[in-house]
Amino acid sequence: MSFKKGMKLRVNFASYNLVKGILLPVFNKYNCIDKLPEFIDNRIFFILEGKYNQLMMINTDNINLLSQILKDLSSINFYPYSIGVPIVTFNSLNTKPTIALGRYLVNICKNKVEILDPQLIYKIIYGKSIIINSKKLYNDAIIVDNKNNFIAYAKLVQIDEKRTRVIPIKDIGWYLRRGG
C-alpha cells in the first residue's frame, strides 16, 4: 500500500510486553486475564500504525522470512494491508476487539452467554437486542451459540430480577452487512 506524501504508516514487530499492554483491557473486560500469557506465547504480533492502530496476529513458523518481506516492502515505501488476523484496533484512549478475535476468546473467557435458540441468534446477527430469562452476571459478555461459536460482543442490561437485555455491540452479521 503506497501512501501520499505526509501520511504516516508504520509496521512494527510487537514485543510480548507491548502486546500484553494492548490486550489487557479486552481480556479484563471478558474475564480471561489469566489466559493472556498463554494466548500471547507462541504467536507473532505486529502493530500496523496508520489512520488507526491495529494489532495483527500471524501464524507462521518463518518469522525471519516474514521480517525480510516486510523490510523489502518498506524499502520501497510499501506496507501491508494486513498481516494475518487483525485482532484489536486501539488508540491511547481505548482498545476495540475485532470480530476475528472473538473466535479465540470464546475458548478462554469466562464472561460468556450461550444462546440456544437459533431465532434469537439470528436477531443478534441482524444487530438487534434480545431479552434472555436470566439474571445479569456481568456488564460485558461474549455471545456464543450451542457449539461455542462466537456470535457477538454484547452489553448486558438487567431488566428485572429474572430478565436481561442483551445488546450486541459487534456481531458476525457484519460479514453479511458489510463484509463483501
Residue 41 vs 160, nearer CB to another protein: 41
Judged by CB under 8 A, which of 61, 92, 160, 161 binds another protein? Answer: 61
Contacts of 113 (CB under 8 A, 6+ apart): 132, 141, 142, 143, 144, 154, 156, 166
Closest CA to 140 of 36, 26, 17, 60: 26
Closest CA to 79 of 3, 4, 23: 3
The x, y and z cell numbers of residue 125, run together, are: 446477527
Contact call for residue 47 and another protein (CB under 8 A): no
Judged by CB under 8 A, which of 18, 25, 50, 84 binds another protein? Answer: 84
Residue 120 vs 137, nearer CB to another protein: 120
Do residues 108 and 29 lie in contact, with contact meaning Cβ atoms separated by under 8 Å? no
The x, y and z cell numbers of residue 104, run together, are: 479465540
* DSSP-derived secondary structure letter, 43: -
From the list 27-35, 71-79, 134-142, 162-170, the region that binds another protein by CB under 8 A is: 71-79
Between residue 97 and residue 116, which ones bind another protein under the rule CB under 8 A?
A: 98-100, 103
What whole-number distance in Å separates Cα of residue 145 and Cα of residue 135?
A: 18
Contact call for residue 58 and another protein (CB under 8 A): yes
Residue 34 vs 72, nearer CB to another protein: 72
Contact call for residue 12 and another protein (CB under 8 A): no
What whole-number distance in Å separates Cα of residue 118 and Cα of residue 19?
A: 36
Contact call for residue 24 and another protein (CB under 8 A): no
Contact call for residue 4 and another protein (CB under 8 A): no
Residues near another protein (CB under 8 A)? 1-2, 57-62, 65-66, 69, 72-73, 75-76, 78, 80-86, 98-100, 103, 118, 121-122, 125, 145, 149-150, 172-173, 175-176, 178-180
